Structures are given as C-alpha cells and as structure tokens.
C-alpha cells in the first residue's frame, strides 16, 4: 500500500509556515504499515493542484490532501479533487448545521462564503470537524483512495485520529492484517550505543520489526507487528519489550510517546515526593520543562534562577569564597553545584533539589569553555550527586542537553526507590 501526501497552500511555498502536517501524517501512516513515497506541496492554484492530484494518483494508492478547505476563493482542494474524479459537490447538511450553530453562538451574521466549508464530494464520506468548521472528505474511486483534511494542525490531527484513521482501517486496509506498534522511549544513551546493545535483535528482526530514531536528547524505538487481534499483537510486542528492558533497564523510561518530564512528575506524584531547582546557565529551562506537565504543581513547588553570582550568594547562600578569588572553584564548579542543589532543597523544603551551573556560551566564562556544565541532585537525608558534563553544540543545544541530562539522572534515582 503506497501513499502520497499533498499539502495545499501558498503560505507553505512562501516559507511562512513549516509543513508539520506531512511529518505527522507520515509518522501515522508508517505506524499503520503504509509506505509514503512522495510528499508534495502545491499552492492555491487550480491547474497546478489538479496536476499534483493526477500525478499522485498515478504513483500511489492513497492520496491524503491537507489544506484548502476554508471559506475563501483560494480554497480549492474539494473542487480540484471533484474535477479530477469527474464528480460534483453538494452542501453536507450536518456540516452546514455545525457552521450555522457556530455563527449563532457568536451572535455574528454568517457571510455567504462560509457555506463553502460545508461542501462534500458526491459519493464521498464527509469527515466531521470537531475543532473547526470545514468538513473533511474521504472517497474511493477506481481503486484509489482520497482523503481531504483541513490545513490547521489543531483541526487536521483530531480529524485524522477520529475520522480518517478508522476510515483507512475499514476501507483502505480492508484485506490487510492490521499493524500494531509500540513506542519505547530511552534517555541517557545515544542512538548508536543503543543500537549496539540491541544489534542482534535489530539484525535478526523479522517480527516484530524494530525501528530506532533519535531526537534531540532522547532516543525512540518503534516496534511493530502484524496480527489479527490486538491481544495477539500485544503478546509479541510485550515479549520483545521485556527482552529490550532487561538489557536497558537504566534507560528505558516509558512505553508510549511520553516525555521524560511527564514520567518523572507521574512517578513523584505516586510516591508523594516533591522537587525544587536552582538554575544558572539554563536560565529557567529545567523548571519550564517540568511545569509543561499538567498537574506538576503537586510535585514541583518552585525554584530560583540565579543567573548572577550576587544572586547565588544572596538567595542560595553560596559562600563568597567559593565563587570569587584567586583559587576559588568559581560559579561553574562541582562545589557550587552541590551547594545550589542542597540550598534550594532546604529553602523550598522539598525531597529533591536540582541544580545546574555551567557555561552555555558562546565563548568562555571564568576561563572555562562553553559546554562545561555541572549538575547536582540533592536528596533529603541522602548524599548529593554531582556530575560534570562536557557538552558540544551551540548555546541552545548546551542548555537543552544539560536539562535532559539532569532529568535522566533524577529519573534513575527515583525509579528504584
């Protein structure tokens, strides 16, 4: 089963927005076992759009189009697909009711062009839009499948998940054995080291298949298998997950697409543990990351960004002798990291206190190079663990990797006890 993704919109060709829809859909289709051979972007232009649809239908079995379903004369996707298929368009009653309700609720009159958002291709299936006004469409014709989704990701993704994916499973993959996948997420290990530890499994892979890939600071593996039922698939997936976990228990932090900060917040919530942080070179990134997790307030109580030495002394009681003077270790040192972690833990009165101090760059600080970073984890009634990092990259990368690394070490400390 071959698929092609066609994104429609002149704003993409002007570089005003990134085509993140193609990435999302490609990932989703891969997880269904469908191969994407081409992604195309075309502007709001009838002849070029028709050309792209015809070209796509020659190459692929399934075409997914995003964008161009809106109310203006520039929104041409439904017209173009209908024209290529020799079909007409009609107003879908339910979609029109949804649009009418929206404008009644806002108390503003509906302009006539909004009716275009309720158009549906004759013989197709309208796909309801739970978060917007433009109805989607799915249609099979001459052994090819066409799915039309809105352009805004906050409309496209829910519509794909709730409407298009079930339609694909029912109409497109009718005669294929369904593919089941599981994501495994790792921290504190690079992609190549992880591959080396799983080399025999990756080399021998037949069923389930193993596909590793790396994003900034974390590594993900997707394991997939075809099976007639979910429970049959889960037996195979669980067995492989267990084997991988037995080799990488200090790195496998989640089964499922979950960031490590959520794993930490959930684990600490469950154990009734609390957390605080003192940040120097990361300037708030660690705390910002932790507090992206809804419900983090019961675990993460607060912390201090001590960007200047004066602040380290004043708010976090770092001795002046440690920070300044001929032979002082300096702000970027294991000693200072330790004091910061212990002090913030005591000041905020939490079970754990984290600290990051280092040189984010560009250039040197205290005659120390960019990338030299100390992280510390202080635990109530326990020792303080201090680790020296020598990171590569630019300012943003160094800040991000410092944050990911301390989260990894925190997770490792709390997961076992």
Site for a second copy, rule CB under 8 A: 11-20, 22-30, 35-43, 45, 48, 52, 55, 211, 213, 277, 279, 282-288, 290-292, 294, 296-297, 300-308, 310-311, 314-315, 347-349, 361-362, 395-396, 399
Give one word for 68, left, alpha or beta, with left for phi > 0 and alpha for psi -120 to 50.
Answer: left
- Cβ atoms of residues 280 and 303 within 8 Å: no
Minimum Å gap between C-beta 349 and a second copy is: 8
Nearer to a second copy among residue 9 and residue 124 (C-beta):
9
CB of 286 to a second copy, least distance (A): 7
Distance CA 372, CA 255 (A): 32
Q: Minimum CB separation from a second copy for residue 256, in Å?
A: 17
Q: Could you give the 3-state DSSP secondary structure of residue 68?
A: coil
Beta carbon nearer to a second copy, 137 or 296: 296
CB of residue 185 to a second copy, shortest distance in Å: 14
Residue 291 token pair: 């507090």
What is the C-alpha R_g of the chain? 27
Query: Looking at beta carbons only, is 247 or 314 nearer to a second copy?
Result: 314
Angular region, 371: left φ>0, alpha ψ -120 to 50, beta rest: left
148 beta partners: 65, 137
Q: How far is the CB of 84 from a second copy (least distance, A)?
A: 17
What Å distances lie between residue 170 and 160, 164, 165, CA to CA? 14, 10, 9
- Residues 40 and 152: their CA atoms lie apart, in Å, by 17
CB of 284 to a second copy, least distance (A): 3
Pick between residue 240 and residue 277 the one whose CB is nearest to a second copy: 277
Q: Which is nearer to a second copy, 125 or 282 (CB)?
A: 282
**Closer to a second copy at the Cβ: 201 or 347?**
347
Dig out the tokens for 150 from the structure: 């809105």
Choose between 17 and 94: whose C-beta lies nearer to a second copy: 17
Residue 140 or 305: the one with the smaller Cβ distance to a second copy is 305
Q: How far is the CB of 288 from a second copy (least distance, A)?
A: 4
Closest distance of CB 335 from a second copy, Å: 20
User: At which residue do the structure tokens 């007639």 appear?
Assistant: 228
Structure tokens at 45: 């232009």
Distance (Å, rounded) from C-alpha 119 to C-alpha 139?
14
Phi-psi category of residue 363: left, alpha or beta, with phi > 0 → left and psi -120 to 50 → alpha: left
If DSSP codes are grouped into helix, strand and coil, which group holds residue 321? helix
User: Which of 353-374 are b and which e, b meaning 16 or more Cβ less than 10 Å from the residue's Cβ?
Assistant: bbbbbbbbbeeebeeeebbbbb
């Amino acid at each position: 089963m071959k698929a092609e993704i066609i994104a429609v919109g002149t704003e993409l060709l002007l570089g005003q927005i990134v085509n993140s829809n193609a990435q999302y859909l490609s990932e989703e289709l891969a997880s269904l076992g469908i191969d994407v051979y081409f992604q195309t972007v075309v502007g709001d232009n009838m002849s070029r759009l028709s050309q792209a649809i015809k070209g796509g239908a020659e190459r692929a079995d399934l075409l997914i189009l995003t964008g161009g379903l809106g109310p203006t004369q520039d929104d041409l996707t439904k017209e173009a697909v209908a024209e290529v298929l020799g079909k007409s368009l009609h107003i879908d009653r339910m979609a029109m009711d949804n649009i009418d309700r929206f404008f009644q609720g806002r108390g503003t009159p509906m302009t006539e062009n909004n009716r275009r958002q309720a158009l549906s291709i004759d013989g197709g299936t309208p796909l309801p839009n739970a978060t917007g006004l433009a109805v989607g469409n799915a249609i099979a014709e001459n052994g090819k499948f066409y799915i039309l989704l809105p352009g805004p990701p906050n409309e496209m993704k829910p519509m794909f998940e709730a409407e298009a994916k079930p339609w694909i499973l029912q109409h497109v993959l009718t005669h294929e054995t369904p593919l089941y996948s599981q994501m495994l997420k790792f921290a504190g290990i690079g992609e190549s080291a992880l591959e080396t530890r799983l080399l025999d499994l990756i080399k021998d892979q037949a069923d389930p298949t193993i596909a590793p890939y790396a994003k900034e600071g974390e590594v993900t593996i997707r394991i997939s298998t075809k099976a007639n039922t979910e429970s049959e698939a889960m037996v195979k997936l669980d067995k492989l997950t267990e084997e991988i976990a037995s080799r990488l228990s200090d790195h496998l932090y989640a089964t499922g697409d979950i960031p490590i900060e959520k794993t930490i917040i959930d684990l600490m919530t469950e154990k009734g543990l609390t957390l605080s942080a003192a940040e120097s070179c990361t300037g708030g990134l660690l705390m910002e990351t932790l507090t992206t997790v809804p419900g983090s307030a019961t675990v993460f109580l607060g912390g201090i960004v001590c960007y200047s030495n004066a602040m380290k002394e004043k708010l976090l009681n770092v001795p002046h002798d440690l920070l300044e003077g001929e032979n002082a270790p300096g702000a970027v040192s294991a000693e200072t990291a330790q004091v910061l972690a212990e002090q913030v833990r005591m000041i905020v009165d939490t079970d754990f206190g984290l600290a990051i101090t280092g040189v984010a760059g560009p250039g040197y600080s205290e005659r120390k190079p960019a990338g030299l970073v100390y992280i510390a984890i202080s635990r109530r009634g326990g020792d303080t663990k201090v680790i020296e990092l020598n990171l590569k990259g630019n300012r943003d990368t160094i800040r991000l990797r410092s944050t990911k690394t301390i989260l990894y070490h925190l997770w490792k400390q709390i997961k076992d006890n």
